[in-house]
Structure 1
Amino acid sequence: MVIRQVITEPFHIKINGKWLYIDQETLAKHPGGIAMTAYRETDATTAFHIFHSGSKLAYQMITEISANNVDYEPTKEQEVSKTLSVLSDEVVGNWNLDEQRIETINQNFNRFRIKMQKLGFFEASNAFYVRKICEAIGLLSLAIFFQLQQRFILSALILGLAWQQLGWLIHEYAHHQHFRSHYWNDLISYIVGNLLQGFSSGGWKEQHNMHHAATNVIGRDGDIDLLPFWAIVPSDLQVSILYNIA
């Protein structure tokens, strides 16, 4: 299991060309948890806009932080060196992109994101989500019915299918895919997650937000930590041998 050391020391992130000072108080107020720390001392512009699309609160917080900002401007060489050192040795696969290539990729993603927003691909269908929630609740009800009829295997299979559907629903709502209001997305995530599945929506966010902030980064991305069932990288095999699970 990935055990992350929570960073409490102040750090800087760069958004829209400006370096922002992030102290412990600011980090504690961040609704997205520790995902922000994946971009300490690096440019987080693209990640910020993707994570917080449509969130007035997020842009308000950035404005407030900028107003209280202190002078900080590393050299271009220091910034590039820090970014590459964060990404190079810890990412699954080979990392051989130079500074210009990284900049080009970020610009392409930003143009693609803006185009998709203009075309309406980020607008959710209310009918779709109502149907999916009703289907999941219907499956749960059916599982309870067969349980009362003592048809336990059939009940278990249907219950597993219901939980699978609910798992993707909490994925949608914890990612704020349905409503523009984060409040309503969070509220329904508590229903489809905490109430109907029995696990924490907040805990899921803490884990999965880091997956998107530091995708496939060894030691940070808990979604690639699949021991003892599957080893993603050679270091996983070393751990499994140490604990006699290989």
Structure 2
Amino acid sequence: RGLADPDKKLLIIVGDSVYDCTKWQWNHPGGHLTVRALCGKDATDPFYNTHVAERPLKMLKQYHFADLVKDDEEGDHLDEATVAFRELTAQFKKDGWYKPDMWYYYRKIPLYASLLGAVVYGVLCSDSLLVHAFAGVGLALFWQQMAFVGHDLGHNSVTHDRATDCDLGLIVGNLLTGISIGWWKRSHNVHHIVTNSCEN
């Protein structure tokens, strides 16, 4: 399968084609583990549900390896869960659930600034143990809020522009919380591809 050996061909299926992602896995923005987890498998649904822009599909075509050949009698034979999942996803896209809502984040900025400002003020302008304790609670709340935003940035779901979300992720993750956005992508994104797999 090539899952544990990067020297073997890492082939995935998307639609009716097979793609060789052996070299691309190391450049994948979501980390190489997400690609490896789908090695030798049908990655159609994971691919289209984690890549909402057109650019990834155009890039994928560069790694075309072969076309699938299906028997006429074989057909697609999709199970009920897959059919239901695709119908639900199509409905979500039609209803606009995947469109970024920047105003949601703009409205949150005053809250984030207030929390961080209160923490800094409490630590620098007071010697009271009680004030410092409240500042600690405020810092915990601030980090918790930043974790939510960092999660969305890590999935490129804030602006849907990979470069912009990555730059913002460096600020929210690396600078404000001390969590590497690159490490987070490599370790977390695979969880959404093979959610309940003990193998990954």
TM-score by length of 1: 0.70
Candidates 157, 163, 179, aligned match of 1:183:
163
CA distance in 1, matches of 2:119, 2:150: 20
CA distance in 1, matches of 2:67, 2:101: 45
1:115 CA drift (Å):
1.3
C-alpha contact (below 8 Å) 1:174/1:189 kept by paired residues = yes
1:48 CA drift (Å):
0.3
Relative to structure 1, is the Cα distance of residues 71 and 63 closer, same or farther in structure 2, using a 3 angstrom cutoff? closer
CA distance in 1, matches of 2:193, 2:70: 23
Equivalent in the alignment of 1:92: none
1:201 CA drift (Å):
0.4
Candidates 164, 174, 178, aligned match of 2:144:
164
Candidates 61, 85, 108, aligned match of 1:109:
85
1:71 CA drift (Å):
6.8
Equivalent in the alignment of 1:143: 119
Counterparts of residues 231-242 of structure 1 (less than 5 Å): none
Counterparts of residues 35-50 of structure 1 (less than 5 Å): 35-50=34-49
RMSD: 2.2
Say if 2:95 is the partner of 1:119.
Answer: yes
Equivalent in the alignment of 2:17: 18
Query: Which 5+ residue runs of structure 2 have no aligned equivalent?
Result: none
C-alpha contact (below 8 Å) 1:124/1:177 kept by paired residues = yes
Note the alpha carbon deviations across 1:94-149, whole angstroms, 9 max, x for none. Answer: xxxxx96x632222212211211111111232221112233223211111111121
Equivalent in the alignment of 1:201: 181
Task: Tell me the percent identity.
Answer: 25
SS in 1 for 2:96: coil
CA distance in 1, matches of 2:45, 2:67: 22
Counterparts of residues 49-64 of structure 1 (less than 5 Å): 49-54=48-53, 56-64=54-62
SS in 2 for 1:39: coil
TM-score by length of 2: 0.85
Query: Which 5+ residue runs of structure 1 have no aligned equivalent?
Result: 76-98, 221-246
Relative to structure 1, is the Cα distance of residues 74 and 202 closer, same or farther in structure 2, using a 3 angstrom cutoff? farther
CA distance in 2, matches of 1:37, 1:161: 35
Equivalent in the alignment of 1:128: 104
